[in-house]
Amino acid sequence: MDAAIEQYAPSETLNDTEIVSLSLPYALHASCLHMQVRSGSKTKNLVQFAMRKLFPTDQNAINVEQITWNAFGDGISKAIACAELTKRRSQLNFYEYVQIGYKRIEQIWRPVNSNVE
CA distance 58 to 52: 10
The total of other beta-carbon atoms located within 10 Å of residue 28's CB is 13
Q: Looking at the domain assignment, is residue 30 inside a domain?
A: yes
Q: Looking at the domain assignment, is residue 89 inside a domain?
A: yes
Q: Looking at the domain assignment, is residue 11 inside a domain?
A: no
Give the pLDDT score at 92: 81
Q: Looking at the domain assignment, is residue 25 inside a domain?
A: yes
Per the structure, how many domains does the chain have?
A: 1
Q: Looking at the domain assignment, is residue 5 inside a domain?
A: no
Query: Residues near 18 by Cβ (< 8 Å), separated by ≥ 6?
Result: none
Whether 86 shows a pLDDT value over 80: the answer reads: yes
Whether 22 shows a pLDDT value over 70: the answer reads: no
Q: Looking at the domain assignment, is residue 111 inside a domain?
A: no
Give the pLDDT score at 48: 95
Q: Given the DSSP bridges, would you call strands 67-71 and 33-37 parallel, antiparallel or unpaired?
A: parallel
Range of the domain at 39: 21-100
The mean per-residue pLDDT over the stretch 25-38 comes to 87
Q: Looking at the domain assignment, is residue 10 inside a domain?
A: no
Q: Looking at the domain assignment, is residue 71 inside a domain?
A: yes
pLDDT-derived band at 17 (thresholds 50, 70, 90) equals low
Query: Residues near 89 by Cβ (< 8 Å), separated by ≥ 6?
Result: 47, 51
CA distance 63 to 50: 11
